[in-house]
Amino acid sequence: MFFDIGPLELVALVILAVLIFGPDKLPKVIQDVTGFIRKVRQFSDSAKEDIRSELGPEFKDFEFDDLNPKNFVRKHVLEKDEYGLQDLRNGFDMKQEMAEVTEAVRGNGSNAGGVRHSLTKDTPDAASGTSDRLTKRETPAAQDRPPFDADAT
C-alpha cells in the first residue's frame, strides 16, 4: 500500500504525527485510521463480489486489474504470443537501425557501391571549388514547368 513512500518520508510522517496529535492521543488516532482502512477494504471487496455475482458464471475468473489497459495487453497479448510479437521484437536491433538512419540524414551514409549520397543537388564549381548555391538559377522553360492546376491551389 505504501510502496511509493520511502523510509525517510515515513520517519518524517511519524514525527509529524507525534507533534500534531501528541504521544498520548497517537495510539487512538492510529486505531481509528486502521479501522477506517479496514472498513473501506471490506466495502470494496463486497462491491467486487456483488459485481462478479451479477455478471454471472462466465465472468467467474474476472479480475478488476484487467481493466487497466497495460495489464490487459500484458496478460492477453504478450503472455500468449499468438501473433509472434516476440519474434518481431527480437528481430530488430533498434540501436543499429537508428544509427543507420542518423548517418543517412547527416549525409555520412553510403550505399553498397561506396557512392555517397547527398541531400543537396550542389556540384562544386571546377574553377573556384565552391558550390553553385549562390548563383542565380535560370527560370525553367515552359515545357519544363509542371502543369498548373487551379483547383489544387
Give tens-digit pLDDT for 84-111.
666 666 777 778 888 888 988 887 645 4
H helix runs in 56-106, sequence order: 69-73, 85-91, 94-106
Q: Is the pTM of this model over 0.75?
A: no
Instruction: Assign 152 to helix, strand or coil.
Output: coil
The answer to whether the CB of 46 falls within 8 A of the CB of 40 is: no
Q: How far apart are CA 74 and CA 139, in angstroms?
A: 60
- Biggest distance spanned by C-alpha atoms of the chain: 97
H helix runs in the chain, sequence order: 7-55, 69-73, 85-91, 94-106
CA dist list (Å): 45 to 36, 39, 49, 53, 115: 14, 10, 6, 12, 69
Give tens-digit pLDDT for 3-57.
688 889 989 988 999 999 998 999 999 999 999 999 999 999 999 888 888 888 8
Q: How far apart are CA 31 and CA 37, in angstroms?
A: 10
Q: How far apart are CA 82 and CA 84, in angstroms?
A: 6
* β partners of residue 131: 124
Instruction: Assign 82 to helix, strand or coil.
Output: coil
Give tens-digit pLDDT for 101-147.
898 888 764 544 444 444 454 455 555 555 555 666 666 666 677 77
The per-residue pLDDT for 114 is: 46
Boundaries of every domain in the chain: 1-57, 63-94
Q: Name the more confident of 26 and 58.
A: 26
